[in-house]
Structure formats: structure tokens, C-alpha cells
Structure 1
């Protein structure tokens, strides 16, 4: 099903929002064949009595706007509410092997899955199967497999209720193999922040956005990944707040914004200029940039009689600052500037804004977390905030911006591979079983075990796991060797095309659809990036009468797999999700007491964060300063012909879901097979823009990694840094290259070389 598309690059780059946002939504509305009822769903989105967005985890304010959704959220809803259907008849015309030649976008466009499917190896096709047959076969296979070789993956989409039961299923089954999508993106936050402030999540809440007078952005792109963030940023700019950005790529969402919800802005074309300073540092040099910022603050404090740094705060609330100050004094400006590619004057100018601000929020995304020394990146940002007491008071704090809508919440209710993160004693008392105490596999460990042939089965609660993994070319070869693969999905994706020896696709409801159980239409809950818990209820008729909720599917697998236990009331829990919320409250009483009552609160309820109250749950009882071992967050040295590759998402995708081929913010249309490169680097390599090249992995393990057919695009990007799209460039990411503490794959710092 090859489709010819006309590609265009280096087109004008418009501001974020504006008419381009409206046109993007309209285009996807037409391409997805969504019904007019989708507009009603959008009107309810992120509001009390409606459904919570299935796209990013940006918070939902109490005082909501008439249109409380962004371009990305609208695309996600339209994609879910398509009128296209991928019925069992589809497989009469297509084999699995044939579909491997289709693009991700073409696979998604086949529409909503309508019935459970089983892979028939003789026909090389999926065939319809009943739910009872699927559950029984899955249960029988799981029952005979070695417990330590079965993986229970979760994508970050399922609500808290289904997630809690999924984690319970895995532990009663006998392992903690519960990797989750945060392993591949923000696990560095969970590990890095926990180490330095005692909290695995950010300290900012919604009200802080309105009180901050300065935002420092590192490696986060709201225009593509969290467009609703641009509204509070616009408000901040109106009241005179400053925005300072550090990012290798000049992203339009942090340059200018036309508010689509403002009639006057849309009619006049008025642009809000977002960043007051935009510093395009070399990929992987955030540690050095933050060192420079902190050094400038320390030097100013020493020349101004100790009036710049909050010494009283440091003395009472922090540990290790004296050693950190010694490190700053010992690190030269020449070294900092050589690593970042930025001038001393530029770094001092950014530091001057920080020192003039009373309340500062540090915002970051995967540009900090997806590096070999990502945890040091996070620690350095915390160092910077601590210098002037910018954690634990209104209008200030640390603000990691999460991706998947409930990726943070799933961790909160037990989807975690580390046994120490889960109250096993409470699970033992509630359900009368002995929970496993051995740590399970992280997603990187799953990949490594797959390559060794030591994973017998993978159950995926949502997502497109194989496509999202690093080293995908190598993993595709071994994935089908598993005894069992099961995916809970709404649409067809590439992971389905590499079935195990037994393989099942179990179609589920989307979040906007009615989830009718014995006690009526069920509410589910999610946790946003600010640790707020929100209820969500669907109102759309399901795409097929055969669809089941994620919770019902978890219960069905559990009943078919586990030995009888009177404390495991799967039927009762499926009938009434409120009972599951009671279990969550009993397991995590500090965070979820009175759960069913509190979800009625408009804007959700806040899960307590001790660090926000300046209670530091660290071994020292104080916030810890990080002492970096190096100024570079990568794990390789620069060398002639070697480049630092960062992977990006386009304006027309969410994670591995590709809605289309428009990346208007980067001036690229009709293609995703591109490599963004500095013009001088292109010339020095003896190449020309528009030329097709191959990208070769240059990792120390000497494994051959290669992506062909990339069009060179001259782009405003630092010398030595190149960029291309995720997941197309995932074959170049070694599974062995990951953050030292969290094991998050280093997708923002990959050693590569060019070949013609």
C-alpha cells in the first residue's frame, strides 16, 4: 500500500497555534472520517462530567475555558472517534507479512478494531476469536510459563482503576515485571528527583503558573508536546514574566504563539512572543549550561556581599552546597562555553534574569531525561532552583512535563518494577497472597532479555511497545520467538505485525466511549503532571458492541490465569469501579483517602507532595545538591565525522501514533524521512541539502545500526548536532545506552555517522 506523497522542506515556520492549528484539526477531521458527534465530545473534554484527554498529561484547571483542548488533544479525539473500522474481514485481504511494508500512518488509518483476534500462523493472518476462547488460551499459556519470563507492560493510557488491578494481576501471578512507558521517557524524573528532593514528581501546581515571574525551559517543547501550556505562558507574558529557553532546536512553540481561543488574536494575527532569550546549546550540554548559570549566580553573590543566593534557605533546607560551590569555582568559563557552544555573555544574561526574578519555575522534558547522564541533568536543574529557594513556595518549583495522560498515575497505584516502591504488606493483608519481593524487569532489561531469548510472553496494556523500543531492528527479529504476545489496543499498530507463537489482539474501549457495567456507565480516574486526580466518563457509543473496557480485559485475563482466591473479586470489581477505588484508598491511604468522595471536586484533588511543603524525604532530611562528574550528559566523545543525534516528534504525531505528514512548525510537509543538519556541517561533509543519505550508529558496542533514505534538510541547529523523527530513527538507539540511574534510553544523545 505504498502512497506517493509530495514532500516539501524549508517552508515558512508559523507561530504555534493560530489558523494553522485550526487547519491541522480540520485536516485530521477529514482524514479520520470522524462523525459530527466528535464535536460534542471535544466540547466536554477536560471538563467536569466529561472525559479527560487521552493525549498528554497537562493539568485540567478548575476554571476551564469553553474550548479546553489543544490541537493535539483534538487530533487524539478525532483519531479515536473515526468512523473507519478494522473488522475481521480486513484480514481476508491482507497478511501480516504484507502489512509490514505499510507505514505507521497507514496502519492507524484502517480504523478501530472491532473484535478479538488470534494470529493464525498457517494463513499469516489474524482471525476472529471469542472473548472466552481468547481468555482461556491466554490463561492456559501463562499458567505453564516460567513466572520470571512473563512481562506485563503498560502504556500510560489506562485509568487508575485498571492499572491498579493490572499490577495486582502481575503480582498474584508471581512477578514484578511491570515496565511502563515512563521507563522510556520520564523515569529519570522519578529516580532523579527522588534522590535530590525526596519526591518522584514535580512540585508545581496550577496556581503556581499564575504567580511565577520567570520560567526556565530545558529540553521541553510545549508547541508539540503540551500546547495547552501556551495559554498560561501567554498570561504570564502579559503580566511581564520572563521566559528563558535552552534547547538545541528552535521550536516555534517557545518562539511565538497565536491563541486559537482568542477571537481578537485570530482576526488580527497578534503573536505573543514567548521566549525572551533562546539559547541553542549543543545536544547533551545541559549540565554545562546549568553549571554556567549557577557559576554566574555564585560570582554575583560573592561580589554583592552574599545578597543574591538565599543562604538561610540553603543552611536550613539543603545539603552539599559548599562542595557544589567549590565545583563551580573550579570550573572555567572556557570549559563551559566550549561544551555548550554558547558564549559567556549569553549565559550571564540568562543568569541575570534568574537573579532579578522573585519566583522561578524550572520546566523540562525529555531533552533532559533521555540522556546517559539524564539524572545529573535533573539534579543540576534542582541545584539551580535551590540557589534562590525556588522550590517549596508559591510561584516557584520544579515542573517536569509528562507525556501520556496517565503515565504518572499508573506508577502511583503500583505499576512499578521495583518492589520497594509498592506497599507489599498492604497487598498481602488485603488479598491474602505472598507478593513477590524480587525486583522485576525495567523496559531496557526486557529488551536485553529478549535478545538473550529469556522473555517467554509479553502482555501489553495499550501502546505500541515494539515500535517504541530502542534497537527496534534487532528486537523485531527476536520478538516472534516468544511463546505468547497479547496487546490491548484500539487500533492496528506495528507491534501487532510481529506476533509470538501465540498472539492475541484484544480490542478495548476508548476513554470517550460509554463503559457500561452492571452498575451503569463507569467513571475512571487519571493523574496529571501536577499530581491532580481527575474523574473521566465517556459518552460516545462504543465503536463495536464487542469492545471491552481495559479493566474488564484485565479481569478476564486474571480469572483465566490465576488460582481461585476468595479475596480476588474480579467480577465485583468489574461491575463497580468504585470498589476498586476503595482498594486503592486502602493500599495508598495518604494519597487516596476518601477517594470516591474526593473525585467529585472540580479540577480534581491534589495528591500530597512533601517537597512542595519543604519536607525532604531524603536520607539527610534535606534537599541534596548534585555534584556532577562531567559537563556532558552523553557517553561518547566528539570525533571527526561523528554527530550527536536527537530524536524529535512532529506536529502531526503523539508518541508512536502518526496522524499525518505535516510538521509545519519545522517547515516540513509530506515526509518524515529527513535529517536536520546545520548548513555548515552539510557543506563540510561535502553534501548538499536535499541529498539522500544514510545514518549509521556509532556506538561502542560495534553493532551495525543503519537507517537509509533520509533527506538532508538545512536547519537552524548547533554544529555537530543532527535531528530526525522518532520512531523512525529508533533502530539507531542502542538498548545499552541509557541513563545511569533510571535506565531511560538515551534518545536525545546518540552517536552517529553519515554515509551517502
Structure 2
């Protein structure tokens, strides 16, 4: 067996450039170009017949749920031309590829060699076709049987001093059935260490909405978009991250809705949309989406919202009852007087300066919306990944409460979730801070006492592994290393583990930075047929608007050595828990109806689960905010008083946010083009305001290094190309995961503990130029 040479695997993408091309930004999203790109991605990964079946059944009631985003499907008509978007097609192409990685691939490519590839090249190699094992000290993965894989995990878990030395991570792609079994296994094993991708994306939304409205989910349905008067889109780029949302926005616009986009960058998808399901759209003729764009500073949303709300209250005083919904505020809300008093003490000019929007434009907006009664607010990670994210989202709620825009048709909250079942995982109990009712139900129905102590979230788990307090990492999906902050710190944490296990479909960078031993356990994808005991099975997912729906794969798996996630969790539980478990794990994975039966017994809202999920389009879960009730501590919807906080930059510092390219979903890199921003064949770029470039003597495509010095530690991301872009001064944008190395592990949102990937203080220096340190003073 070969031994590791004295080298340290690099957890980052290699610092190399491709042949970058800068082109005009596409002025219209989607259209015929999106169709052409979709087809090219499909045909690159599979033959025409397989590709046709994969797309024909994507997001259809008799097909499978998209493995990409969580945007809801229509409740009624599903388009026969294709109920999917360009990036959905890319996601399917990645998952349903017929390229396979067999044992000879791993025998030919060492960890050292694979670490030199970038994430795009790693992901394009193909599907992993059988379980793989990396022995201690080895440089090559080698195949092993499923029985031996489960035995290996069981041996490590049984050897731990306490179950709390194990980490059980979950990705948002996991089905409801697998997620429920996974949390059941972890708690039967004895720990609540269940970090998940929610901790890194919408945890701030859940905390804010839970405290203010009593439910940590959005309150709108898709049909509300067609019956509203105003839609706010804050910190979200639907054209790239949730492209099917553009169809809903187009329909809303046609019905007279006023759409406001709040984002530091002008985004093509929020400007014009060419619907590829129409002749005009295929010809590239676009429809207007946003009526107003507010280029807010990074983390300037809170002062902007307070300025809007202050002006709405002022307008109501001029004509009492014409602007605010006083009846709703009096009967359904708590804390209005304190909130109004707080706003009366705020200075409008100061708020406008903090958010970076001209006061005249804020007045214009308020004048346009002041008489609107139905408002929807949408947001994503542009709001959730700051230190003050929870308070900012509560300020969104304040706006809706002032207008009575909660619990009525055409109005409410819409946190647009990322991965396709991230919301469902939380509903199923994937949560490091379990609810009392869940623990009581598990104890009553399964005859064991689940642990009550809170477990680790993502940041806590990384720090625990780094300190040696956690020794086994088990990841059910995802690319943990590339998704998390402070890349080198996270890599060190994983390498200190005795065992790291990744349940995956394709190769990713997390497989290359491992514990002392490592396993890759390959599973069926959403698009794959799942046959158990001779019967075709289906799983279920929950979308952004609380709909539970079927997902049944239609493609032949690329390998006979793949198993489903429910089977994997059950066989793992049988190997680890032995005779100590009285749970019927074997019957669970032979028939998924039995899993749904026990979900119905333990999770509220799932009455007649197996019957209702077979109905057309599935069913909605109960939603108290949608129904106009607010189970908070005050039994009312809560106004919240929050102070605006601005990040004080020193001389030469800039505020960086990480973003996705259009050829990317989360950490999966589909391609190297970001055509909606005019950047092709490159990802190592930094978007800068021309004035910030001039102050640093930087020109277009200069090579720079990026530094963060938080906590007295130097973090550096080397070799990025400068690109002039329309972004507010002192603000810059870069793609993740390439700059996750700059996100400090200890910089997190208050209350939610979410990494602050959207507000990272950096310095930009020319590559290869040694500069004398500057004496820095706050500006």
C-alpha cells in the first residue's frame, strides 16, 4: 500500500487562470439561448433518448423533483413543453450522466493529483459507481463491499467515548423519508449533532420568522404572486438561483404588480425575461420584470427598510388609516408603539447614507406603494449571511405588519429556499436544537429516550472537530468542505477526524481532504429508478411554499452497486445499533409507505400522508402565518425594535460578498461562463467599482490577492482578476467557493450562527507586489 508523501493536500481550488473572455452582459434572461445551453449540457452527459426521458419527467406529477432549487411547481397546470429551467436541466445533466468512476479511475488518480484539479474538473468526471475506501496513510481510494463499508462505520461509532463525538451532517437534497430515518438513527444512537445546510443559508430566516410570526417558514403560495400589488426582491438573484421564479414574476407584472429589486448588483434576471415557452421569448424578446432597482450597499438593507417604514408611518399621519392597517395592528400585533417611537428617533438622511440609496428614490418608492394593501417580500442569502441578518429579516416583517400584509391572499413572507428539500429536512427533524414535541413523540412511538441536549450546528461542528471533541464526520450528501467558511480551518478540522464519510453521487473536493480514514458511499439520485423488493418506490420533498409532493425516478441507474438513501440509513442503523434497536429498520427500506406511516405518527401536518401525497401535486402543510394566527410568546405578530449597524471600514478595506455564477448551483460548477455578467471561461474574478480600482491603481484584468485579517489571523485568496462592474463603492463581489477561505469561522450572524459570507472585510493587493503595511484609521 502506498504511503502519503510529505505533502499537504490543498483544500482550495488551484490558483490558475483559463483564457478569460469579457463580453457584453446579456440584457435579457433565458430565451432561446437558455434552451440551447440546456440541450448542450444534457447531450454532453448522456444520449438523446436518456436525456429526453430525463427532461420530460422533470417536475411533472408522475416524475421526479428537480435536484436543484426549491421553487414550487404550479398547483394546477404543468407545462408539457418543460416544467424546468436552464439550471434545472444542468442539475439533471450532472446527476443523470452516464460517465462513471470505477475502481480503475481511483487506482490511476491519487489524492495529490485530484487535489490539483479545480472544482469544475472534479465534478465533470462522472458518477461514483461503487463504495470506495481510503485506508489510513493511503493515497488512493480502493473499492469495498457495502457490508464492509457499514461495518467500518459501525466500528468507529461504537469505539467513541460518547455519541456526541460523532457529527451527522445533512444536505438539502435528501428526501423526507431519508431525512426522517437519519434523525431517528442519530437520536437512537444518542446525539443531536445534526448540522445541516440550513445552518449556512436560511437559518437566519427561520429564527427571525419564528420569533416574530411563530413559524420559521414563508407564508405565501405561488398563486399569491398573481394576486398581489407589490413584490420586493431583496438580496436574491432569481435569474440564476431560481430561474423558474421569473415566470411567476412575469405573470405578476402582467397583472399590474409593482416589482422592486434591492441588490448591490444589477442582475439580468431582474431586468428582462424572455419566456422560452413562447415564440417571442424564443426570439429573445423580453418582458420587463423590475419596475425599480435599488442598488443598496452590501448589508445596507436594514437602514433602507427602516427609512421606508418611517416614511410609511409619516404618510399615514397625514391621512390616518389610508396607509397603515390599524385594525390589523391593533388586533393581531404586539409592540407597535415601541417600534413607531424607535423610528421617530431615526434620521432619514442618515438612513439613506447608510444604505447608499438617494433619499429622493426612497420617497418615490414609498409614494408608489403607500396605498398598496397586498405586499410580498422575497429574499435569499443576500440577507441571511450577515451579523445582523436576523434583525434585518425582522425589519421585513415590520413592513408587512404595518400594511397588514400577513395572512391574506396576495401578501406575506417568501424566503426563497435554496436546495430542493432543505425545508423538508428541517420539517422531518434534522435540527441540532430539537423541539420538545418531537422528542416526546419519538420516545412515545419508538420506546427509547432521545437525547435532549442541543447538538452542534455547522460552525460548532467545525470547531468541535478542530479541537478534537468530534472524531467521526458522516455527511449525508453535499460538499461540506467547499460549502463551509474558513476553508483551511475547516480542512484542518476534517483531517483531525478518525473517519470521514461522504454519501454522494459524484466526486467533490470533500472526498480529497479526509480524516485518517475515509469512505465515499454512492447513492441513487432523484432521477434514478428506486426498486425495493421488486416494487418501484417514490420519495417526497417539501418546496419553498410548504407543498409535500412525490418524486419518482425514471432512469436506469448507472451502476448495480448504488443503493437508495433510505436503504443506506437503515442498513447503517442495523450495523451500528445491533440488538439495542427495537426499530423495524429492515421493513422501512423495503417499502417507503411504512416510513411515511411513522412520519405521520410523529410529525404534525402529515395526516393521511400516503393517501394525500398520491393526489395531483401533493398537499400543503399547515401554516399558521398563512392562516392568520401567530403562536409566538405574545400570541401575536411581533414588531421588533432593532438598531441599524454599519460595518466601519478602515483605509484600504472593502466589503466583499460571495455570489454564484450563472453556471453554478451551490458548490456544483456546471460550467465556466457567467453570461448574465459578461464573464466567460473564468471564475477567479473580483467585481469592483471603478473608483475603488482607481484608488488602488488597478486596471481591468490586473491580478490581485485578497486578504482578510479578522481575529488577528491572515487569510489569503491568491490570484484573482479585477473586473470593473456596476457595484456600490467600497463593495466587491467574488464567486464561492473560491473565496470561502476568507470567511472567518467566528464571524457569524447573531442568534442563527450563520457564517457571514455576504459581509467579509478584505484588502485587495496586486499579486506579487510586497507593500509596506499601512496605518489604518476608521473612515
Q: Work out whether 1:139 is the aligned partner of 2:154.
A: yes
Structure 1 Cα separation of the partners of residues 83 and 118 of structure 2: 32
The answer on whether the counterparts of 2:176 and 2:425 sit within 8 Å (CA) in structure 1 is: yes
CA deviations 1:455-475 (Å, max 9, x no partner) are 201100000011111001122
CA deviations 1:360-404 (Å, max 9, x no partner) are 101111111111110011100000111110111000000000001
Residue among 298, 301, 312 paired with 2:316: 301
Counterpart of 2:220?
204
Deviation at 1:566? 6.0
Q: Work out whether 1:232 is the aligned partner of 2:248.
A: yes
Deviation at 1:6? 1.8
Structure 2 Cα separation of the partners of residues 343 and 630 of structure 1: 17
Structure 2 Cα separation of the partners of residues 23 and 518 of structure 1: 40
Counterpart of 2:70?
57
SS at match of 2:425: helix
Deviation at 1:82? 1.1
Counterpart of 1:73?
88
SS at match of 2:403: coil
The answer on whether the counterparts of 2:274 and 2:280 sit within 8 Å (CA) in structure 1 is: no
Counterpart of 1:602?
616
Count of residue pairs the alignment pairs up: 750
Counterpart of 2:599?
584
Residue among 4, 20, 27 paired with 2:40: 27
Aligned counterparts, 1:509-658, within 5 A: 509-518=524-533, 520-565=535-580, 567-588=582-603, 590-632=604-646, 636-658=647-669
Q: Work out whether 1:481 is the aligned partner of 2:501.
A: no
Deviation at 1:121? 3.8
Deviation at 1:491? 0.4
Deviation at 1:131? 0.5
Counterpart of 2:432?
417
- Normalising by structure 1, what TM-score? 0.97
Aligned counterparts, 1:658-697, within 5 A: 658-697=669-708
Unaligned runs of 5+ in 2: 1-12, 767-779
Counterpart of 1:174?
190
Q: Work out whether 1:11 is the aligned partner of 2:11.
A: no
Q: 1:295 and 1:212, CA in 2 relative to 1: closer, same or farther beyond 3 A?
A: same
CA deviations 1:6-50 (Å, max 9, x no partner) are 211253323111123123213323443455312212111111110
The answer on whether the counterparts of 1:285 and 1:631 sit within 8 Å (CA) in structure 2 is: no
Structure 2 Cα separation of the partners of residues 520 and 684 of structure 1: 66
Deviates more, 1:675-684 or 1:114-123: 114-123
SS at match of 2:578: coil
Q: Work out whether 1:329 is the aligned partner of 2:344.
A: yes
Structure 1 Cα separation of the partners of residues 340 and 127 of structure 2: 57
The answer on whether the counterparts of 2:137 and 2:516 sit within 8 Å (CA) in structure 1 is: no
Unaligned runs of 5+ in 1: none
Aligned counterparts, 1:45-194, within 5 A: 45-62=58-75, 63-66=77-80, 67-145=82-160, 146-194=162-210
Deviation at 1:248? 0.6
Q: Work out whether 1:41 is the aligned partner of 2:59.
A: no
The answer on whether the counterparts of 1:290 and 1:380 sit within 8 Å (CA) in structure 2 is: yes
Deviates more, 1:711-720 or 1:138-147: 138-147
SS at match of 2:322: coil
CA deviations 1:528-574 (Å, max 9, x no partner) are 00000001111110110000001111111111111324631111001
Structure 2 Cα separation of the partners of residues 591 and 371 of structure 1: 33
Residue among 269, 272, 286 paired with 1:253: 269
Structure 2 Cα separation of the partners of residues 349 and 296 of structure 1: 11
Structure 2 Cα separation of the partners of residues 83 and 735 of structure 1: 38
Deviation at 1:453? 2.2
SS at match of 2:435: helix
Deviation at 1:4? 7.0
Deviates more, 1:244-253 or 1:558-567: 558-567
The answer on whether the counterparts of 2:165 and 2:469 sit within 8 Å (CA) in structure 1 is: yes
The answer on whether the counterparts of 2:229 and 2:372 sit within 8 Å (CA) in structure 1 is: yes
Structure 2 Cα separation of the partners of residues 29 and 41 of structure 1: 9
Deviation at 1:305? 3.0
CA deviations 1:54-94 (Å, max 9, x no partner) are 10001011211121000111101111111211111101211
The answer on whether the counterparts of 2:32 and 2:281 sit within 8 Å (CA) in structure 1 is: no
Deviation at 1:265? 2.4
Structure 2 Cα separation of the partners of residues 501 and 451 of structure 1: 14
Structure 2 Cα separation of the partners of residues 412 and 702 of structure 1: 39
Q: 1:414 and 1:421, CA in 2 relative to 1: closer, same or farther beyond 3 A?
A: farther
The answer on whether the counterparts of 1:519 and 1:576 sit within 8 Å (CA) in structure 2 is: no
CA deviations 1:233-263 (Å, max 9, x no partner) are 1111112211011111111111111001112
Counterpart of 2:759?
749
Counterpart of 1:378?
393
Deviation at 1:752? 0.7
Structure 2 Cα separation of the partners of residues 9 and 326 of structure 1: 50
Structure 2 Cα separation of the partners of residues 530 and 507 of structure 1: 30
RMSD: 1.4
SS at match of 1:423: helix
Counterpart of 2:720?
710
Deviation at 1:276? 0.5
Q: 1:734 and 1:421, CA in 2 relative to 1: closer, same or farther beyond 3 A?
A: farther
Deviation at 1:738? 1.0
Aligned counterparts, 1:357-376, within 5 A: 357-376=372-391
